[in-house]
Amino acid sequence: MNFEAALAEVLPPGALLLEDEAKRPFECDGLSAYCAMPRVVCLPETAAQAREVLRICREHAVPIVPRGAGTGLSGGALPLREGCVLSLARLNRILEIDVANGVAVVEPGVRNLAISEAAAPYGLYYAPDPSSQIACSIGGNVAENSGGVHCLKYGLTVHNVLGVKLLLADGELLELGGKVLDAPGLDLLAVVNGSEGLLGLVMEVTVKLLPRPPVAQVLLGAFASVTAAADAVGAVIESGITPAGLEMMDRLATRCAEEFAHAGYPLDCAAVLLCELDGTAEEVAEQGAEVAAIFRRLGATEVRASQDEAERLRIWKGRKSAFPAMGRIAPDYYCMDGTIPRRELGRVLSRIAELSEESGLPIANVFHAGDGNLHPLIAYDANDDAQLRTAEAVGTRILQLCVEVGGTVTGEHGVGVEKLDAMCAQFSPAELAAFHRLKAAFDPAGLLNPGRAVPSLARCAEFGRMHVHGGQLPHPELERF
């Protein structure tokens, strides 16, 4: 029996896509510059069906690209032309809200925001909140170790996931963690968070739920220079205050977001800081006064605080709309995701401005300033191949700059195919070889998401001497594990 016929026997009607038009929505993730048509798309509705798809792919030596909601921004779910896209979007049940233990148990296709919606009647919520939280899935959040605007105080996905059930390529179900804070043995749960589908399929997730703070207020500070805003970020953290979120947008990002979302942002400044404080009313009032004083001392031209919940949500709507708002200045954007020490914010942002001028491509900066997680948005036209090549080159240079100042090439979007070159700049051959050995321990046949997240040693040997375009080497066979 051929591959497609075998899949048709184990999947329900409508769960196996073979025609190009049906497969087209799966040819890319949120990083839409890179596209490929997969051989098949599978949409299992149960864990048993997913295990069967894995078995058939293993028997036919067909590589598998796991996929969640498709909102990723590094090409981690980019299909392989000879491969199977295995989507877990239909496994979308909330299995349990355990109020006594403060956890939720969910399937991988459950939307991030749906967890908080289900927990809301109990005064609880799930803290990590990526800008795509209305659509992104918890399985994808685990795969990419996603963050969000409140990750400064409440942590990334890895800090909020207590347990994972992982389906390995050989069909074994591995249970890591659970409803308790720790488990004996090696911390394989941390290994799975951010593993980008290389190690197994996330089939079930146990997440931590937190009590919703009684009061939350966001302070907006407008600054005449990006450097002054960067200095204010460091000063807030130095004061001993840990904001729930501390976000920064430069002039271009602020203008685009305001035109799109009408959040009430000032447009006559070089940078805007958004600092959210939460806790009791007394805590928020005291810390808010201190933050406002810091902003003014460091040159803020305007400081104001949200007066009610509607205004707070409107201010955050602008920040979370900044990415799609870039469509007002260019058809496409290339989103970077580097992380740097906070003390280097001013220096790195100045260099990004220089790269924008040198390349002729507008770059908007909107990012998690409190933990130094940058998101430069390089505006370009994907229909112009020269512009795409320039955007790729500028993006790689920005990530190299992050490494040079003591940072890393990703904070929450993962590596996917977008940052394979940048990984060569950050890690030595010995370190990369260790990553490959870990991958082989979980997936000896190398069928799960091959060629993603960890570059081959052959690729890194060519780094700097060969232009890599569209996330691909001229010799793709070098990428196979």
pLDDT (tens digit per residue) in 438-456: 999 999 999 999 999 999 9
**CA separation for the pair 70, 293 (Å, rounded):** 42
pLDDT, position 470: 54
Instruction: List % helix, strand, coil for the chain (3-state, nearest 5).
Output: 40, 20, 40
- Any residues with CB less than 8 A from the CB of 404 and at least 6 apart, and which? none
Owner of token pair 């989103």: 335
Rounded (10°) CA dihedral 293, 255, 348, 218: 30
Q: How confident is the model at residue 32 (pLDDT cuts 50, 70, 90)?
A: confident
Under the banding of pLDDT at 50, 70 and 90, the label for residue 33 is confident
**Residue 480: pLDDT over 50:** no
Query: Residue 477 pLDDT > 70, yes or no?
Result: no
Position 403: which residue type? Answer: V
Q: What is the pLDDT of residues 64-92, one digit of tens each?
A: 999 999 999 999 999 999 999 999 999 99
Integer CA distances (angstroms), 292 to 57, 79, 233, 349, in order: 58, 48, 12, 23
> Hey, which bits of 251-322 come out as E strands?
271-279, 300-305
> Does residue 158 sit in helix, strand or coil?
helix
Q: Where does residue 298 rank: exposed (0-12), middle (13-18), buried (19+ CB within 10 A)? A: buried
Return the pLDDT at 183.
79
Instruction: Determine the pLDDT at residue 49.
Output: 98
Residue 315 has pLDDT above 60, yes or no: yes
| 94-211: CATH class | alpha beta
What percentage of the chain carries pLDDT values higher than 90?
Answer: 90
Check whether 476 has a pLDDT greater than 50: no
Domain residue extents for the chain: 3-87, 94-211, 215-323, 330-404, 424-479
Q: List, for residues 113-133, the tens digit of each pLDDT value.
A: 999 999 999 999 999 999 999
Burial class of residue 48, CB neighbours in 10 A (0-12, 13-18, 19+)? exposed
Please state, in angstroms and rounded to a whole number, the distance separating the CA atoms of residues 120 and 114.
10
Residue 469 pLDDT: 54
In this prediction, residue 47 carries a pLDDT of 97
The model carries a pTM of 0.93
Can you say how many angstroms the Cα of residue 72 is from the centroid of all Cα atoms in its chain? 6
Using alpha carbons, select from 176, 185, 172 the residue that is nearest to residue 50: 172
User: Rounded CA gap, 412 and 416, in Å?
Assistant: 12
- For the stretch 311-315, contacts whose Cβ atoms lie closer than 8 Å and that sit 24 or more positions apart, written own/partner, are 311/264, 312/216, 312/217, 312/218, 312/276, 314/261, 314/262, 314/263, 314/264, 315/218, 315/220, 315/263, 315/264, 315/265, 315/274
Q: For the residues 397-417, what does the mean pLDDT come to?
A: 96
* Tens digits of residue pLDDT in 129-167: 999 999 999 999 999 999 999 999 999 999 999 999 999
| Cβ burial 93-106 (10 Å sphere, 16+ → b, else e) | ebeebeeebbbbbb
8-state DSSP, 27: S
pLDDT for 210 beyond 90: yes
Q: Classify domain 215-323 by CATH architecture.
A: 2-Layer Sandwich (3.30)
Residue type, 409: V
Distance between CA atoms of residues 252 and 195, nearest Å: 33
Q: Do domains 3-87 and 215-323 have the same CATH topology?
A: no
Rounded mean pLDDT of the chain? Answer: 94
In the prediction, which pLDDT does 335 show?
Answer: 92
Contact call for residues 429 and 460 (beta carbons, < 8 A): yes
Q: Which amino acid is at 280?
A: T
How does DSSP assign 40-76, residue by residue?
A: EEE--SSHHHHHHHHHHHHHTT--EEEESSS--SSST
pLDDT for the residue 181: 82
Please check whether the domain covering 330-404 is classified as CATH 3.30.70: yes
Q: What is the mean pLDDT of residues 459-467?
A: 68
Confidence check: pLDDT of 471 > 80: no
- Where does the pLDDT of residue 358 fall: very low under 50, low under 70, confident under 90, or very high at 90 and above? very high
| CATH class of segment(s) 3-87 | alpha beta
475 has a pLDDT exceeding 50: no
Residue 107: per-residue pLDDT:
98
